[in-house]
């Protein structure tokens, strides 16, 4: 497969690129570093009739042990970041923690609530990452995207994005960059909030094992983790996959887990919660490839 300036690799293992540390190879793998290169990847995928998977920091995805039989477009090299007054403009592949560090260096407040979240800037916008009352959509100004269908660039203001709980409606575009509108603050206060949020995360989440964050969305008026815990599933495992003892809405790779183990455990948890609560849990993570 030819893509002009973009380096294309074949049979690239994806396990090292996902936070679960599972997943088979990509048939083709490309990591464009700018808009033109990204357009080349999309065009080549379309021309060769190969399916396309956009992969950010791999923190909210489960890829099958068979891998992905198509083109994986990694945003890892779309990572330029600039500060313009109270605004930060960064590539989709920029790590959230890099954005937070940059904001702190320039005494810009508004991103502290995402301290410790391992995802990328683009992925955070797609999932509208956040906590109970704070979401990245609140500080977002606009996104620059490429349409996956027409391969055309476009800038979308946040008021034209359909943000909701754990969603944005941006699944059919490739985010190239995002613009965040922050506010000047006191550096020491910003640093203190970052430290406080990091402490809470370390106390409540199983950071000692590979995971993909919260597996299930919270049903309206309920908490998935509490439901799973009350079903007695903390510590339950299949193969190398376990329901976390620390937070029941986390499934961890406790050692040597296959993607299939995690997939089967997700199914088991959903089945148990459905039986006890008559609630169908919806996964927050993306499930890619063939399972079962």
Q: 280 an active-site residue?
A: no
Q: 284 an active-site residue?
A: yes
Helix (H) or strand (E) holding 46: helix 35-47
Q: Which position among 214, 242, 244, 260 bears the catalytic label?
A: 214
Q: Which tokens go with 79? A: 């990572």
Residues 214 and 281: beta-carbon distance below 8 Å: no
* Gap between the Cα atoms of 140 and 128, Å rounded: 10
* Gap between the Cα atoms of 263 and 63, Å rounded: 10
* Gap between the Cα atoms of 72 and 28, Å rounded: 6
Q: 286 an active-site residue?
A: no
With 0-12 / 13-18 / 19 or more C-beta atoms within 10 angstroms meaning exposed / middle / buried, residue 87 is: middle
Q: Where does the chain show beta strands of DSSP type E? A: 8-13, 25-30, 52-55, 61-63, 68-74, 81-84, 87-91, 108-109, 140-147, 153-157, 173-181, 183-184, 211-214, 237-238, 241-243, 250-253, 286-288
Q: Which position among 19, 112, 142, 166 bears the catalytic label?
A: 166
Q: Which tokens go with 290? A: 């063939």
Q: Which tokens go with 52? A: 């396309």
Strand order in the sheet with 25-30: 8-13, 25-30, 68-74, 52-55
Catalytic residues: 166, 214, 284
């Amino acid at each position: 497969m030819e893509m002009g300036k973009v380096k294309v690799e074949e049979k690239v293992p994806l396990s090292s690129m996902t936070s679960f540390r599972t997943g088979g190879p990509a048939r083709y793998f490309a990591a464009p570093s700018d808009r033109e290169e990204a357009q080349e990847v999309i065009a080549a995928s379309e021309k060769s009739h190969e399916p396309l998977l956009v992969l950010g920091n791999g923190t909210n995805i489960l890829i099958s042990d068979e891998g992905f039989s198509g083109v994986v477009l990694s945003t890892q090299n779309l990572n330029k970041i600039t500060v313009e007054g109270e605004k930060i403009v960064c590539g989709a592949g920029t790590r959230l923690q890099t954005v937070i560090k940059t904001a702190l260096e320039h005494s810009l407040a508004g991103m502290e609530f995402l301290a410790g979240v391992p995802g990328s800037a683009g992925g955070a916008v797609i999932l509208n990452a956040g906590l109970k009352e704070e979401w990245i959509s609140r500080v977002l100004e606009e996104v620059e995207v490429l349409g996956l269908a027409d391969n055309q660039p476009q800038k979308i203001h946040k008021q034209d994005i359909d943000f909701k709980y754990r969603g944005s409606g941006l699944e059919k575009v490739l985010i190239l960059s995002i613009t965040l509108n922050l506010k000047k603050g006191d550096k020491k206060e910003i640093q203190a909030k970052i430290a406080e949020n990091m402490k809470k995360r370390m106390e409540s989440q199983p950071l000692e094992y590979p995971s993909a964050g919260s597996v299930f969305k919270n049903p309206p008026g309920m908490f998935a983790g509490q439901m799973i815990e009350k079903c007695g599933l903390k510590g339950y495992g299949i193969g190398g996959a376990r329901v976390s003892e620390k937070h029941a809405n986390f499934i961890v790779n406790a050692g040597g887990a296959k993607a299939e183990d995690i997939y089967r455990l997700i199914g088991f948890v959903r089945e148990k919660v459905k039986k006890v609560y008559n609630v169908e849990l919806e996964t927050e993570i993306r499930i890619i490839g063939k399972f079962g």
